[in-house]
Structure 1
Amino acid sequence: NEQTTSEEEQTNNEQTEEPAETEENKETNETDEGENSESTETEEAGTEEKYEAVDLGGRTIRIANHWDLTPQGGTELADALVERMKEVEEKYNITFEFIVIPWEEKVNQVTSSIIAGEPLADIVGLDSAQAASLIQEDYLIPLDDIVDLNDIYLPKKLQEMGTFHDKVYMFNNQLNQSGGMYYNKTMFEQAGLPDPYEQQQNGEWTWEAMLEAAKTLTTGDQYGMSADPNILAEYLISSNGGQILDTSTFEVMIDSPEAIEAYEFMASLYHEHRVIKPNEGNNWEDPRKYFSEGLVGMTQGWIWEAEGRAETSFEWGYVFWPKGPKGTDHQIPLSNSEGLTIPVGVEQPEIVYQIWEDMQLWDRSEEGVLEWFEQVMPSMEAIDTAAQMLDNISVNYWQAYNLQDAFHEMNENIATGAESPTQAVSSVKGEAQARVDEFIGKE
């Protein structure tokens, strides 16, 4: 997968995943073609038994995204998806049309088409920040208004991930998020350090354990860690039981005790202990490059990156991000994700959603994701961690409230030492809160 390097597109790439079959996805790392990895509460029967046929008279159902969502086939599961699409076309007397539109033009195209009274597609793929901006204008249809959420296949966890303002707007057939720590297993063994996976399983994988390992591994030109300051700050806050924005009260929380402790620990990693290798101008690419080249012992990362590390000269492992002093459990912070939406103005939106559900192979819910884990992960321990992550996702779409780039300068200043954590937080808190207030229309 190609990765973008701009801050805006980086933000939208950070937390989504891409199974191996969907090589077309060049902008994000999440696919809507895989199989939902969370089991549904329905019987393992095909959706054809649940939904009755509706003759739509040859209607074209248009599905738009910034990469081609057309089922491609090529594996047993992918071939089954292609066959299922054909069955659904015949069942409803429809034809699917898959449209590709540039990521950066999605919001404008959806908006202008709705205003013109002709939505550009029946279903549109959006990320959570894009969806939130359209929801504020009442341009997307909540599923709550067209279906009984207790009588659909979409699992509760995926409903939660698509919820804004207590209504479900985004839907997806796949739970496949991740976000943890890659570590150089060879480097750890040579240094005589405990294995992070074993520490994770024993409840001992903490900030302190990570710091001790990083200090031991930092020697000569070798560093214990590499990091993007923006991602590092978010993961430290989340792992310490904090949050950047309370999405129930819309209060920016970067000055909470949990967050301040996280920022202070972050500053100590850079300046007191000097265990993080300095980036050379690209906060997105450099940390990944350093790890793949064997220059650092640990780095933050997502499962999709494993495909690019198959040929490394060392053994590596994958674990959760370590817990902070105030953290209670390992978790995956999810501040941005992708899903499908139905624009206002679409004809028979309840039937459109029914057709989408009918296309999915819900009875093979975990198969696709677990197969992918087995393909890209190097060990049973890493596969186990990836599977555990699916049950430990913490959804907080703070980025959607016009905060995508609100903290970049602050995090960079903490990393470089230009400001202390307290100074950096106080300098940006007011502006960040003003952004949120403006977004939600607070007087």
Structure 2
Amino acid sequence: MTKMKTLSILSLVIVLLFVLSACSGGNTPPPAKPSDSSNQEAEGNKNQEEEKEPVVEEEKYDLGGREIRFSAWWDGTPNPDTPEGEKALALQAEVEKKYNVKIKYVAQDMWETAEKFSSTVMAGEPFADVVLVPHVFVLSLLKGGYYTALDDFMNVKEESKLSDLIIESGSYGTGKTYGFLNSVALYDNTGLFYNKRIFQDAGLPTPTELQEQGKWDWDTFVDVAKKLTVSKSGNGKIDQWGLTGSQMTLGSYLIYSNGGVIYDEGTEKIALDSPNAMEGLEMMNKLYNDYKIVKRDEGNSWEDPVRYFREGKVAMYPAGLWEVGRFQKEMVDEYAFVPFPKGPKADGFIMGQPQMHINVIPRGVKDPKVVYKIWEDLQDFEHIDENNRTTAESWFTDEASVENALNTLKIIKFARYGGLNIDDAMWDLVRDISDSKLTPASGVAKLMPVMQASVDKVLKGTE
């Protein structure tokens, strides 16, 4: 019995082992293990869930129906009868709803802006929340303490959509950003226009071709201007000139293109005695008095040069892009645009930016951060480049000119002196040099102290 019991137990064990073996494997494949890709996907989803930041709701504002006023020297109210105006009004409606405000545009006389600005700030009731200040008043109002710095309520670089160029331009060397724009206005930029027909008739390479060859500098500029200053009638009297422009334009562009400035924003000093600036004035003297290749105005430095260019009497005309409208419709010959030629002390093309109208928030404006955000939300930052290209293409028929116009934004050197009361002395200097009344050195020695005295008075608030 004991033996039989033992065999029965042994048989039972063997059967159980067989069953377990069959259930646990045998010829049946084991359950599939997760593949590497499945593991990675699962791990990735896990990591995404771990790394997924919590949704941050957009900050909400409610200014209780307050009127937000934007001032310029024109009525900025969008025109509903144009596609652009219709789009702007739709955006304005969104912004008004978002902040619970009513937006109004205030037209303020340009030349009365400074008085209106300062008097209303002093009274504790700024006449507008954002004011476009004409370049001639920017520095005096800044030094008077009438602006609110954006840095006082935000990290400008991280919290605004302003480009580094605009942040720099709006600081005026102070280290804080007071002024702001969605972009440097393309029409304020400068360079040199030329008449395509005159170059073609003379069989000379155009400034565009010289630029492409890496030869567009003062030397080639003078060379072609000499060759294009001729008597086409054959009577010995010059009737076609290589160059025209006001003395102020030529003098300043030569200074800037050589890496110099008239006024140094960093040091707050007149810098006409620098080697770069002096070389520019010396070249101006040669253009007028040695080479004699500049067609002088006949008493109107504003209207005469552009008229000469429009009439096809001169080959080259340095000017601002905004001047295209002054000859675009009336000029028979085709024109093109290049940067002003590079000076010997410059590493590349330089466009001096002597003026810039800029937006500011007056001191005393309530909720300045929200006001700035309202302004920012009304801007079309996304399409700035596209809009600039569309504008440039409306000005020029050749791609090279379009690209040169757009490239002015990349070669800017701020050289602003508007509102420092030095214009009259600067005009006296360039006129006396062009008329051979003074040499560049003697002229600078005579007039630079006068100019610096004006600067000091403005910056100290005593004028």
TM-score of Structure 1 vs Structure 2, range by shorter chain: 0.7 to 0.9
CA distance in structure 2 between the partners assigned to 1:111 and 1:317 by the alignment? 43
Q: Deviations over 1:303-324 (max 9, x none)?
A: 2222343331111110000011
Matches within 5 A, 1:298-317: 298-311=316-329, 312-317=331-336
Contact 1:183 1:298 in 2 (8 A): yes
1:203 and 2:214 correspond: yes
1:292 alignment partner in structure 2: 310
1:18 alignment partner in structure 2: none
CA distance in structure 2 between the partners assigned to 1:50 and 1:414 by the alignment? 64
2:178 alignment partner in structure 1: 169
Once the two structures are TM-superposed, the CA of residue 63 in structure 1 deviates from its matched residue by 0.9
1:234 and 2:243 correspond: no
Contact 1:58 1:94 in 2 (8 A): yes
CA distance in structure 2 between the partners assigned to 1:69 and 1:50 by the alignment? 32
Contact 1:172 1:340 in 2 (8 A): yes
Once the two structures are TM-superposed, the CA of residue 404 in structure 1 deviates from its matched residue by 3.4
1:183 and 2:183 correspond: no
Match of 1:88 among 95, 102, 107: 95
Unaligned runs of 5+ in 2: 1-55, 232-238
Number of equivalenced pairs: 395
Secondary structure class of the residue paired with 2:425: coil
Once the two structures are TM-superposed, the CA of residue 64 in structure 1 deviates from its matched residue by 1.0
Match of 2:264 among 246, 251, 256: 246
CA distance in structure 2 between the partners assigned to 1:249 and 1:270 by the alignment? 32
CA distance in structure 1 between the partners assigned to 2:326 and 2:111 by the alignment? 26
Contact 1:118 1:345 in 2 (8 A): yes
CA distance in structure 1 between the partners assigned to 2:110 and 2:145 by the alignment? 21
Q: Provide closer, same or farther for how the CA distance between residues 272 and 50 of structure 1 changes in structure 2, counting only shifts above 3 A.
A: farther
Match of 2:227 among 216, 219, 224: 216
CA distance in structure 1 between the partners assigned to 2:109 and 2:207 by the alignment? 40
The amino acid of 1:373's aligned partner reads: A
Match of 2:422 among 393, 398, 403: 403
Secondary structure class of the residue paired with 1:163: coil
Q: Deviations over 1:104-152 (max 9, x none)?
A: 1000011111122211111111133312111111111111112211221
CA distance in structure 2 between the partners assigned to 1:81 and 1:413 by the alignment? 49
Q: Provide closer, same or farther for how the CA distance between residues 390 and 50 of structure 1 changes in structure 2, counting only shifts above 3 A.
A: farther
Contact 1:336 1:400 in 2 (8 A): no
CA distance in structure 2 between the partners assigned to 1:364 and 1:75 by the alignment? 18
Once the two structures are TM-superposed, the CA of residue 442 in structure 1 deviates from its matched residue by 10
**Greater Cα shift, 256-265 or 346-355:** 256-265
Secondary structure class of the residue paired with 2:352: strand
Matches within 5 A, 1:368-379: 368-379=387-398
Unaligned runs of 5+ in 1: 1-48
Contact 1:51 1:354 in 2 (8 A): no
CA RMSD of the aligned region, Å? 1.9
Higher helix share: 2
The amino acid of 2:440's aligned partner reads: P
Secondary structure class of the residue paired with 1:321: coil
1:157 and 2:168 correspond: no
Identity of aligned residues (%): 34
Match of 2:373 among 346, 349, 354: 354
1:265 and 2:273 correspond: no
Length-normalised TM-score, structure 2? 0.82
1:389 alignment partner in structure 2: 408
Once the two structures are TM-superposed, the CA of residue 74 in structure 1 deviates from its matched residue by 5.8
Q: Provide closer, same or farther for how the CA distance between residues 326 and 429 of structure 1 changes in structure 2, counting only shifts above 3 A.
A: same
Length-normalised TM-score, structure 1? 0.85
CA distance in structure 2 between the partners assigned to 1:74 and 1:329 by the alignment? 45
Secondary structure class of the residue paired with 1:209: helix
1:72 alignment partner in structure 2: 79
Once the two structures are TM-superposed, the CA of residue 247 in structure 1 deviates from its matched residue by 2.0
